[in-house]
Each structure stands twice: as C-alpha cells, then as structure tokens.
Chain A
C-alpha cells in the first residue's frame, strides 16, 4: 500500500509542478536556465519529502499490524474523523440509555440521617444537667421493596439523662400501599395525634424550633403522651379540589409506665389491652389558605405501671390542632383534654389539659419563633402521678434558627419554665443547638 501511495504522490506532484511550470515555458520560450534549476530543486525536495512520508507510513503500519490494503474496486473507507465521531456518538447513546434505565435503588440503600449537639444553662430535656450536650444521631432507612410494599426504619443514638448513650429503634414500620388514599403500616410508629408528633420526628434539623413542647417530648425525654405505638396504622389522604382530607386510624399495645417513663411495649403487654385512636385533618391547598392544616384527634389506651399493686388507668384524650406551613409563616397549635379513669384505685375520673401555640416567621436568614405552652395535669391521676415528669408547668420561649446552608442550622432559644405542682420552681434557660442532616 505504501508503494502505491508513494508512486501516486510522486506522479501527482510531478504533474502539478510541470503543469504549473508549463505556462511560463510556453509563454516565455526563452526562459532562463536559473528558473528551470529552481523548479528542478523544488521537485527534488518534494520527492524527498514524499519518500520520507512513505517510510513513516510503512513504519506505522508495521507497528500496528497493518490492516489489509483495500483492493481496487472496494468502496472507499470513511474518513478517520467521521469514524471517530460516529464511535463517540454511539458510546454516548449507550451511556445515556444505561443511565436512563438504571433505577436509583439498584446501587444499594442510601443512608440518611440527622445529628445535633449543643450547649445550655440546662440540658434541653432535663434540668438536672448543664453545659454541653450530645443530642441525637439519627439514621433512617427507606428501602424500595416493590410496587406496593414500603418500609421505614429509624435508628437513634441519644444521650440519656445520666449521659449514657442509648440506642432506640424509634420507628420500625413495614407497610402495604393499597392506593394513594390508603396505606397500612405494621410495627412501631409515631402515634398520630396532633401535628408535631408525626411532622417533627427525632431529627432536630427537621424542626425549626430547638425542641418540642415539653409535654409532647418523646417518652424518654419527659413527654407525657404515648408518642410511640406498636401496632397497626391505616393512613391516607384524598384530594378534594385543591385541598386534601387526611385521616389516620390505629390500634396497638396499651403502654406501660416503667421507671416513671411511658414504655410502648415493643414485645406486647401482659394484660392484652390496647390503645385505639384516630385523627382527621383538612389541608388547604388554595392560594389564599395554602399550607394550612386543621384537624381533630382522639385516643383511648389502657395503661398500667410497674408499681405493686399495679395502677391501671383508662387514658382518654382528645383535642384539636392547626398548623400553617407557608413560605413566610410557620404557626402551629395543639391542645389536649384528658378524662382519665382510674381502673384500679377507684378514684374515678380525672381531667387534665395541655396545649401550646407557636408563631414562627421565615426570613431569608432562617426562622424566628415565639412559643407558649402549658400543662395542667391532675396529680391525683395515677397516669400523671407515676410519670417522672408528670407535673404541671407553663413555659414561654423565644427562639431563632439560622440556616447556615441547606443541610445545617444553628438554633438559639431563651425559655422561662414554671413548675406549678410537686415542687414549685422556675428555670431560665439559654440554649444553643447545632443541627445537621445528611
């Protein structure tokens, strides 16, 4: 092949030079010898360059294991650049198709979570401690399991009041989605009452405020309600124009008060009695009311304790809630009325009340909030009397949250708390919290 190229180039070049020179020869028959000599020199140089290129081609072909030379009469090969472009285009198309058909879940289960640390004149969950504190390290998993099956697991590491690190499987739910309007969950879930308990989970970052209202804290952080239920939960929403109707129904193990803390009885309870409850809400979607949700809730639970003899209480609670979550405002309010029946001591019915209201403003820098909360809990009711933090109180709080970036926030809160029975006291708290999501 290289010999063919060599001969062809020589012929073309010679012809070109001769063709270029011939007019001048024809026009000037008496051209001088110098001009001819210059042309001869150019021709020699060109031939030398062609020989050099031909040698280089032979060398390259020898290195690459030369492809068979195309026979005369075979179609001319596509130019090398066109071939390369076609190959690149084919590869890009293959990559796009491969990426497009690859689901997000076939590369493994992503792990997400929340964490927070802080400092304060008191620990935000117990006034027995002061200074710096480790909050929660909370992981949650939402594996994709199929068209209808869903799952949610939340594993939380937290420091107890005495500083020991405890691990809780805060939520362990496996559910079947019948439709967009009905999903049935089994396992351990956050009891659907009010707004906060199912909107603000253990991750501190997810809340604009630094902490939940005290009576709505989780059980091991001093809360007075059964925040977790182990059982079955039906939930869903139906769209009505721009709005949505929300509902929840649940049935689970009746809780037990153990060491002054409500326990959700992960393995079942001894008496076989249950908690049963429901919640109904209406979420506005129109421009005028967008972000507003209102609702009512109620539950009844048979709750005993670890005393001898055992105290048994039929806890009956009902109430209402409202939440406005818009670009500018975050307001929320809940109230609860308890009408508990003492089943073992014969002291009859006991009425208690608890509630809070929080006003929040969202600016480009973060959120400012103002909250008032109050719990008037009957201390002759064994349900509250046996709880370590079952006393009545009221608290005012002023806080601010600065969003450092999309995944981290710095929060500060000033609060004044008055304990109004058992030991009458008051605390002033200054708290700081650094919360992240990942």
Chain B
C-alpha cells in the first residue's frame, strides 16, 4: 500500500499544492472547533480586577480585592473552555489543586453555578462575586477579561 508521503511525492506540483491547502483547511477547521467560543471572566460591578489576576482568583491565590472578599463561582456550562483557556489545566487537575489548597491553606473552592444565566445572576447579586460566561455579559458587571 502506498504511504501518504510517497503519494504526495509521486503527485504533481499542482496536486501537492492542492493537498497542502486541503490539509491546511482541515487543520484550521479543527483548531477553530477546539478553540470555539470566547470566555468572559466577570465580577460584580463593585470589583476591580486585572485580567492577569483571573488565574490567581480561581486558584485561590487571590482572595481580596481592596477590602472586598472575592467569591469566585465556577460555571459548569462553560467550565471546560475556561479551564483550557484561562487556567490551562484539565478538570481532574483543577479538582486536585483545590483539594490540596483546601487541606493546606484552609481555603474553600469556588461554588458551582449551572449556566451562564445563573452565573451572571450570582455575580450581579453577590458583592465580590466573580464567574465566567460563554456569552457576552448583559448588565452591570465588571468584565475582567475576554479569553
């Protein structure tokens, strides 16, 4: 059976170009699918936070913003994309990080909200509340960053 590389070599230059373009298109489509959708990290309107602090916030390294106790909440509907894009960890490691953090430092892991609507309502209603959405936030909240 002819291998892919030998098939490319035996094809003419025009076919090679077309093949590479097709491969490029496939890759672009695949990467677009993997990176689908933006994540909006938001906090209560009274909270001021920088985008670079989002990671510390959800890993328990930052718990105060001025005099306000930060109360992050995970959004189950957008958690997979958030962990991949913002924290750069998978769900298993995220759970382990918080188990160790709680046991070592007495910190509590974020609460969990079920949907964008619930996360948004939580952030609006909670002083120090922070979460993330898969859709642009509507209403009076602080957008910490778009990832």
Q: Judging by beta carbons under 8 Å apart, are A96 and B99 in contact?
A: no
Name the A residues within 8 Å of B68 (CB-CB): 147
> Shortest CB–CB separation between residue B103 and chain A, in angstroms?
6
B8 at the interface (CB under 8 A from A): no
Is A425 among interface residues, defined by CB-CB distance under 8 A?
A: no
A105 to B108, CA, bound (A): 9
Interface residues of A in 119-147 (CB under 8 A from B): 140, 142, 144, 146-147
Q: In this assembly, does A179 line the interface, its C-beta being within 8 Å of a C-beta of chain B? A: yes
Contact A173 B106 (CB under 8 A): yes
With contacts A140-B102, A199-B104 taken as known, whether A180 is within 8 angstroms of B121 at the C-beta atoms is: no
Is the Cβ of B125 less than 8 Å from the Cβ of A100?
A: yes
Question: Which residue on A lies nearest to B109, using beta carbons?
Answer: A104
Question: In residues 199-226 of chain A, which contact B (Cβ within 8 Å)?
Answer: 199, 201, 203, 206
Across-interface contacts of B126 in A (CB, < 8 A): 100-101, 103
- How close is A244's CB to chain B, nearest CB, in angstroms? 8
| Interface residue B14 (Cβ < 8 Å from any Cβ of A) | no
CA distance A93 to B20 in the complex (A): 51
Size band of the interface chain A makes with B? 35 or more
Asked if A103 meets B113 with Cβ closer than 8 Å, knowing A96-B118, A140-B102, A199-B104, the reply is: no
B107 within 8 A of A: yes
CB contact under 8 A between A112 and B114, given known A101-B121, A406-B92, A406-B95: no
User: In whole angstroms, how far apart are the Cα atoms of A237 and B62 in the complex?
Assistant: 10
In the bound complex, do residue A100 and residue B100 qualify as a contact, i.e. CB atoms below 8 Å apart?
Answer: no
A183–B114 Cα distance when bound, in Å, is 32
Instruction: Give Cα distance in the complex from A406 to B98, angstroms.
Output: 13
| Whole-angstrom CA separation of A203 from B68 in the bound complex | 33
User: A198, B122: Cβ atoms under 8 Å?
Assistant: no
Docked-complex contact B118 and A151, CB < 8 angstroms: no
A177 to B64, CA, bound (A): 9
Q: A140–B102 Cα gap in the complex (Å)? A: 9
Q: Are A103 and B111 in contact (CB under 8 A)?
A: yes
Which residues of chain A in 238-252 are interfacial with respect to chain B, using CB atoms and an 8 Å cutoff? 239, 244
Q: Are A101 and B106 in contact (CB under 8 A)?
A: no
What is the bound-complex CA distance between A104 and B126, given in angstroms? 12
Q: Is there an interface contact between A101 and B107, defined as CB atoms closer than 8 Å?
A: no
Interface residues of A in 169-201 (CB under 8 A from B): 173, 175, 177, 179-180, 198-199, 201
A148 contacts partner chain B, Cβ-Cβ < 8 Å: yes
A97 in contact (CB, < 8 A): yes
| Known contacts A201-B104, A203-B103; is-contact A180 B62 (Cβ 8 Å) | yes
In the complex, B117 has a CB within 8 A of chain A: yes
Q: A112-B102, A150-B106 are in contact. Are A239 and B56 (CB under 8 A)?
A: yes
- B84 CB to closest chain A CB, in angstroms? 14
Residue A389 at the chain B interface, CB threshold 8 Å: no
User: Is A152 close to B, CB under 8 A?
Assistant: yes
A150 contacts which chain B residues (CB < 8 A)?
Answer: 106-107
Which residues of A are found within 8 Å of B108, using beta-carbon distances?
104-105, 142, 144
Q: Determine if B119 is an interface residue (Cβ-Cβ < 8 Å).
A: yes
A437 within 8 A of B: yes
Instruction: Give every chain B residue within 8 A of A147 (Cβ-Cβ).
Output: 67-69
B124 shortest CB reach to chain A, Å: 8
B37 → chain A closest CB, angstroms: 21
B57-78 interface code vs A (CB 8 A; 1 in, 0 out): 0000111100111010000000
Q: Which chain A positions have C-beta within 8 A of B67?
A: 147
Other A-B pairs, 8, CB within 8 Å; known A152-B105, A179-B64: A96-B118, A105-B108, A112-B99, A142-B106, A147-B69, A150-B106, A198-B104, A406-B95
Q: Which residue numbers of B lie inside 8 Å of A, CB to CB?
A: 56, 61-64, 67-69, 71, 92-93, 95-96, 99-100, 102-108, 110-115, 117-122, 125-126
Per CB-CB distance, the 4 closest pairs between chain A and chain B, nearest first, are A152-B106, A100-B121, A100-B122, A104-B111
A-B contact pairs, 28 of them (CB 8 A): A96-B115, A96-B118, A96-B121, A99-B113, A99-B122, A100-B118, A100-B121, A100-B122, A100-B125, A100-B126, A101-B121, A101-B122, A103-B71, A104-B108, A112-B102, A140-B103, A147-B67, A147-B69, A150-B107, A154-B103, A173-B106, A180-B63, A198-B104, A199-B104, A201-B104, A206-B100, A239-B61, A244-B61
